[in-house]
């Protein structure tokens, strides 16, 4: 509790809550909060009531901009997710494609060994930092079966990779886990743009939702 000034305490005996508040303001010992940084408006995408508020517009935009070529790469991501599950890992897969359309590298989850940071999107970010120029990274596209977690989104943003196309969203995964009674992830799922505001993101791809949902049901025995 913040102490009131002795002068006020000597004058005021048992105070009501509102009197105590007023006394603190008068005594000057309670700093008045000063807003810092950009004011949060009710229309901000990550404003209350939850992390997905205001995302419907982006979903609609995303669905219209996923091309047939994008869908082929997303299909490969889901195949990689299936390979991960069959190898005893969690079903997530990702592919990195150059600005010229060449598949550069692909990966799936490797968290079964005990390192929970071994996500494919994180691997692609590090691989691109080691093997691509900043310009090549900016022109590249990351395809992934599930929307980046905050760790992978941050890695993506830090290395300056380009567009992201995902098949299923973090919001969908969260709903699936909840419906199965599975434990939520230890890191709060957030939309990619909550981590990398300028990221160009497309997704989800509704045609793949059932297939990916099925992989997570198999993982959790549901």
Residues within the interface to Zn ion (CB under 5 A) = 119, 149, 151-152
In angstroms and rounded to an integer, the radius of gyration of the C-alpha atoms of the chain is 24
Of 25 and 112, the one with the shorter C-beta distance to Zn ion is 112
Question: CB–CB of 107/129 below 8 Å?
Answer: no
The distance of closest approach from Cβ of residue 173 to Zn ion in the complex, given in angstroms and rounded to an integer, is 11
The two tokens of residue 11 are: 């004058």
By C-beta, is 8 or 149 nearer to Zn ion? 149
**Quick one: 73 or 119, whose CB is closer to Zn ion?**
119
Distance CA 77, CA 71 (A): 10
Check if the beta carbon of residue 216 is closer than 8 Å to that of residue 173.
yes
Nearer to Zn ion, 39 or 113 (CB): 113
Residue 145 CB, shortest distance to Zn ion, in Å, is 12
Nearest-approach distance from CB 122 to Zn ion, in angstroms:
6
Three-class SS state of 103: strand
- Asked whether 58 and 51 are in contact (CB, 8 A), the reply is no
Q: Are 155 and 176 in contact (CB under 8 A)?
A: no
Distance, in Å, from the CA atom of 168 to the CA atom of 213, rounded to the nearest integer, reads: 9
Nearer to Zn ion, 78 or 152 (CB): 152
State the nearest-atom distance from the C-beta of 146 to Zn ion, in Å.
8
Q: Residue 128 Cβ, how far from Zn ion at the closest point, in Å?
A: 15
């Amino acid at each position: 509790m913040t102490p009131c000034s002795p002068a006020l305490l000597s004058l005021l005996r048992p105070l009501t809550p509102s009197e105590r508040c007023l006394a603190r303001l008068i005594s000057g010992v309670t700093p008045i909060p000063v807003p810092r940084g950009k004011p949060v408006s009710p229309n901000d995408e990550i404003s209350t009531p939850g992390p997905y508020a205001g995302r419907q517009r982006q979903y609609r935009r995303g669905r219209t901009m996923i091309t047939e070529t994008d869908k082929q790469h997303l299909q490969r991501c889901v195949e990689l997710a299936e390979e991960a599950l069959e190898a005893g890992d969690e079903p997530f897969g990702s592919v990195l494609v150059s600005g010229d359309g060449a598949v550069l590298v692909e990966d799936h989850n490797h968290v079964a060994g005990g390192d929970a940071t071994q996500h494919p999107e994180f691997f692609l970010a590090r691989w691109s930092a080691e093997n691509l120029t900043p310009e090549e990274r900016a022109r590249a596209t990351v395809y992934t079966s599930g929307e980046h977690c905050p760790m992978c989104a941050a890695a993506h943003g830090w290395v300056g990779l380009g567009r992201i196309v995902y098949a299923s969203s973090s919001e969908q995964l969260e709903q699936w886990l909840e419906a199965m009674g599975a434990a939520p992830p230890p890191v709060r799922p957030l939309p990619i743009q909550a981590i990398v505001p300028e990221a160009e993101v497309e997704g989800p791809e509704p045609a793949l939702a059932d297939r990916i949902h099925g992989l997570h049901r198999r993982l959790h025995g549901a």
